[in-house]
Chain A
C-alpha cells in the first residue's frame, strides 16, 4: 500500500471538480495516507457531542450550581449567582445535623421514616421476587407465560396512575378494608393513621407511652421513643404498593439467572442424594449471588429515592410519618422556597445512597466474583 501523498496530488484531486480523478487511485490516496480510519476521530466526537452537551448542561453543570446554592440562603428571587445572595457557608448542613430546630427535626424524622421503609421493603421485595421466580421457573409448570406476565405487568405502569388506584383501595371503606372485614378484621384508616408499628406492638403489651428512659434525650434531636416508632400505618400502605410494583422486575432478573443454571447440575446433585432444600441452598443460591447483589443494590438505591408515591398519596402526612428525604428536599425548596436547605438535603441524600451502595459492595464482596456489574447480562 503506497502511502506517498504529495501536495500536488492533493491539488490534482481538488481540481478534478468532484469527479473521479483521471489517474487511477490517487483520489483515495490522501485518505489512505491517514489510514482507513481517516476522519474517524472527528466523526467520533461529532457522534457523542449531543449527549455530552445535554448531559453537561442538564446534569453535571446543575450539580455544581446546586452545590453553590446549598451554601447560600437563596430564596428563589432572581439569580442565585448574583452578588446580592447571602452566602451562609455550611449553615444549611449544620441545620440538618448539629443545630437543634425544626429543620433538623424534620430531616431526622424523614431519615427515620425512610430507614424503616428500606428495612422492610428491600428484604420483602427481594424474597418475594426470588420466591416467585423459583415457582415460575418450575419445569413442570403450565401457563408459565401468563404468570410471568401477571407479576411483571405492574412494574411497567405509571407510578402516578397506580398510586391513584392504591389510594382508592386503601380508602377507609375501600377494597383493602373490605377484604380485611371478610376475616373479621376492622381495617385502619390507612392514610390518616400515624401510629408506628413498633409502638403498636408495644401497645399490645400495655406500653402505650414512652417510658421515662426513652422519652427524652435521644440522638440528633429526636427522642429514643421517636426513633423506635417503626413505620407508620400510612407508610405501610405505601410500602405495600412499592413492593407490589417492584417485585416483578426483580423476579425477571432472578428468572434470567435461574434459566442459565444448567439442568444437569440440579440433576447431578439430586442423584447425589441432596434434598430439595440442600439443592436450593448449596447449588441454586450460590449461582444466584451476582443477581442477588444486583437486586439488593437496585433495591437499596431505589428505596432511598421514594418520591412519586409519597407525592401522590400522602405528601408526608399524617404527622410527618411518610416524610422522606427526597420529598422533604422537594418541599423545602419548592414549597417553603428555601432552596439552599433543600439542596443541602439532596446532597446529604446523595451521599447516603453512595455510601450504602459502597457498603453493600464491600459486605457482599466475593473474591472470585467478576467485578463487572453487567457481566451476567447477555
Chain B
C-alpha cells in the first residue's frame, strides 16, 4: 500500500496508479455508505418488495405503512425518553465535566492527584464488566427501573473530564489571575472568565455527549426493564433481538433504525469538525 501519485513522475504510470487509487477509494466509499442507502429506501418499501429487492434504491411502490405502524405502538414514547435522557445527560456532563476539569487543571487542593488518577483509572474500566455491578447498586438504592437509574450514572464521563482538563491547561492563566485580584470568587472566575474562553472544547464535549448518550445501549439494559422507560436503542433492540434473518417486518424495523440514526447524522453534518476532534481524543467504541 503506497501513496497514489507523486508529482513529477513519468505520466503513464502515474495515471494508472491514480485511476486505481480512485477506484479503490470509490469502492470503499460505496461499501461504507450503501448500507445507509439500504436503510433509508427499504424503510419506505412494502414487505414483499423489501424481501425480494433489498438492494434496489427505489421503493416500488413507496409506502409509509412501516412508519405508521411504528407510531401506533410505544415508539413515540421511546423517542421522548431518548430526547429527555440525552438532553439532561448532555447538560449535566458538560457542566460537571468542565467544573471538575477546571479544578484538576487549575486549582490546588489536597488530593487533586488522587482524584485525577481515579478518573484515568475509571477510563480504563471496560463498560461490559459493569453490567452486574451497576444493577446491584440500582437495586440497593431502590432506583432500578426509574429515570434516575437511566440518567444519573451517565452524568459523568471520565473522558470528558480529561478533555476539559487538557483544554484548561492550554489556555493562559493571566486572565483568571486578573479576575481573582479584582476579588472575584473562584466560581465567578470560572463562570464568567474561563468558560467563555472554552467554547471549542465545550462544543466538542456537547457533541460527544449527545452522540454517546443518544446511542447508549448497554446501560439502559441494566437500568430499566419497563417498556415505558425504554430509550430508542433499547426499544429497537427489543423489537429485533434474536429474530433471525427472516424477512419479518423489516421496513418497520429499518424505519425505527433510520429514526435512531437521523439525529446523529444531522449533528454530524453540521459539526463534523468537532466529531473529528473528538475522535482524535481517543474516543472509543466497541
Q: A47-B100, A48-B115 are in contact. Are A253 and B245 (CB under 8 A)?
A: no
Residues of B within 8 A of A62 (CB): 130, 133-134, 136-137
Interface residues in B109-129 (C-beta closer than 8 Å to A): 109-112, 115, 118-119, 122, 124-129
Interface residues in A21-56 (C-beta closer than 8 Å to B): 28, 36-37, 39-45, 47-48, 50-52, 54-55
Asked if B1 and A374 sit within 8 Å, CB to CB, the answer is no
Residues of A within 8 A of B44 (CB): none
Asked if A304 and B126 sit within 8 Å, CB to CB, the answer is yes
Q: A132-B28, A161-B260 are in contact. Are A280 and B2 (CB under 8 A)?
A: yes
Asked if B35 and A151 sit within 8 Å, CB to CB, the answer is no
| A interface, CB within 8 angstroms of B | 28, 36-37, 39-45, 47-48, 50-52, 54-55, 57-63, 65-66, 69, 79-81, 130-132, 134-141, 146-147, 149-175, 178-179, 189-192, 242, 244-246, 248-249, 252-253, 256, 270, 276-277, 279-280, 294, 298, 301-308, 311-312, 314-315, 317, 326, 329-330, 333-334, 339, 342-343, 346-347, 349-350, 353-354, 373-374, 377-378
Asked if A164 and B247 sit within 8 Å, CB to CB, the answer is no
Contact pick for A59, options B6, B33, B125, B284, CB 8 Å: B125
Residues of A within 8 A of B247 (CB): 171, 173
Encode contact with A along B29-62: 1 for CB under 8 Å, 0 otherwise. 1011101101100100000001110110000000
Q: A168-B54, A304-B126 are in contact. Are A333 and B237 (CB under 8 A)?
A: no
Residues of A within 8 A of B174 (CB): none
Most chain B Cβ neighbours within 10 Å, of A44, A155, A159, A179: A44
Asked if A44 and B103 sit within 8 Å, CB to CB, the answer is yes
Q: A174-B54, A377-B282 are in contact. Are A252 and B276 (CB under 8 A)?
A: yes
Asked if B136 and A154 sit within 8 Å, CB to CB, the answer is no
Asked if B3 and A253 sit within 8 Å, CB to CB, the answer is no
Asked if A47 and B107 sit within 8 Å, CB to CB, the answer is yes
Asked if A51 and B279 sit within 8 Å, CB to CB, the answer is no
Asked if B284 and A298 sit within 8 Å, CB to CB, the answer is yes
Asked if B3 and A244 sit within 8 Å, CB to CB, the answer is no
Q: A157-B261, A173-B51 are in contact. Are A244 and B32 (CB under 8 A)?
A: yes
Residues of A within 8 A of B245 (CB): 167, 170-172, 174, 189-192
Asked if B284 and A158 sit within 8 Å, CB to CB, the answer is no
Q: Roughly how many angstroms separate A37 CA and B107 CA in the complex, as a whole number?
A: 9
Asked if B275 and A141 sit within 8 Å, CB to CB, the answer is no
* CB proximity of B131 to chain A, nearest CB, Å: 5
Q: Roughly how many angstroms separate A155 CA and B50 CA in the complex, as a whole number?
A: 26
State the total of A-B contacts with C-beta under 8 angstroms. Answer: 352
Residues of A within 8 A of B152 (CB): 54, 58
12 residue pairs from A and B, CB less than 8 Å apart: A40-B109, A45-B111, A47-B186, A47-B190, A59-B153, A62-B133, A132-B28, A168-B42, A175-B38, A280-B2, A312-B240, A330-B131
Contact pick for B102, options A47, A154, A163, A175, CB 8 Å: A47
Residue B171 at the chain A interface, CB threshold 8 Å: no
* CB proximity of A28 to chain B, nearest CB, Å: 7
Asked if B127 and A305 sit within 8 Å, CB to CB, the answer is yes
Residues of A within 8 A of B11 (CB): none
Residues of B within 8 A of A59 (CB): 122, 125, 130, 133, 153
Residues of A within 8 A of B236 (CB): 160-161, 164
Residues of A within 8 A of B276 (CB): 152, 252
Contact pick for B54, options A50, A178, A249, CB 8 Å: A178
Residue of B nearest to A251 (CB): B279
Q: A39-B186, A154-B32, A246-B285 are in contact. Are A47 and B99 (CB under 8 A)?
A: yes
Residues of B within 8 A of A153 (CB): 32-33, 36, 265, 268
Residue of A nearest to B95 (CB): A50
Residue of A nearest to B284 (CB): A298
Asked if B136 and A66 sit within 8 Å, CB to CB, the answer is yes
